[in-house]
Amino acid sequence: MRHRVAGRRLGRTGQHRLAMRRNLVASLIQHETVSTTPEKAKEVKTFAEKLITLAKKGTLSARRRAIAMLGNRDIIGYEDGKAVKKGTIIGKLFSELGPRYLDRPGGYTRIIRLSLRRLGDNGRLVLLQLIGEDEDSKKQGRASTKRTHRRKARQTARAKEALEVEEAVEAEEVGETNNQAEKTDQH
């Protein structure tokens, strides 16, 4: 029985799952987008978000916990055909990603479903991405829930009704003043 056992097995042993999760998160931090299966992406998303929350703290103990959870892999770039070390995963996590998400309370990643299938086994593919800074400003302008949409719709409907009532009252007042003017002209 698997009562209250968290996580997906993904057809792997415990050590293989841990290694796969570390590698996927390290690639996500390095490239900021990873193409994988939906099941792996859902499993890795929570791990990545916990690491980014640690990076937001920025303390030495948080850095040590992140190294213990993830490892400290080098970021290698190629210049003129030679491999050049450009930093480490933990360094990028704490220097770039932590400060980027300081004002964001959570939800640092997103999963985008792709219509493509994997070539070898025809498996579904998704993109696991880190949210950029430009998405924060877009969401502030938008209403976030259906309830606020309904509330705004009711307020606009009430405002339209009130405007129509005011116009009708003004039309009646104008009609009454015209009738009074005609009566004074007749007398």
For residue 83 the two structure tokens come to: 């491999």
Q: Is the pLDDT of residue 107 over 90?
A: yes
Q: What pLDDT, in 10s, does the model give residues 132-157? A: 877 755 555 554 566 777 777 777 77
Asked whether the beta carbons of 30 and 90 are under 8 A apart, the reply is no
Tell me the torsion sign for CA atoms 17, 26, 44, 68: positive
- pLDDT at 140 (0 to 100): 57
pLDDT band at 183 (very low <50, low <70, confident <90, very high): low
How many other CB atoms sit within 10 Å of the CB of residue 68?
9
Give domain limits for the chain. 14-140, 143-187
| DSSP helix/strand/coil, 115 | strand
Q: What pLDDT, in 10s, does the model give residues 82-94? A: 999 999 999 999 9
Determine the topology of domain 14-140 in CATH. 50s Ribosomal Protein L17; Chain: A, (3.90.1030)
Q: What pLDDT, in 10s, does the model give residues 123-138? A: 999 999 999 877 755 5
- pLDDT at 110 (0 to 100): 97
Q: Is the pLDDT of residue 70 over 70?
A: yes
How much of the chain, in percent, has pLDDT values that exceed 70?
87
Asked whether the beta carbons of 66 and 94 are under 8 A apart, the reply is yes
Average pLDDT, the chain: 87
Report pTM: 0.71
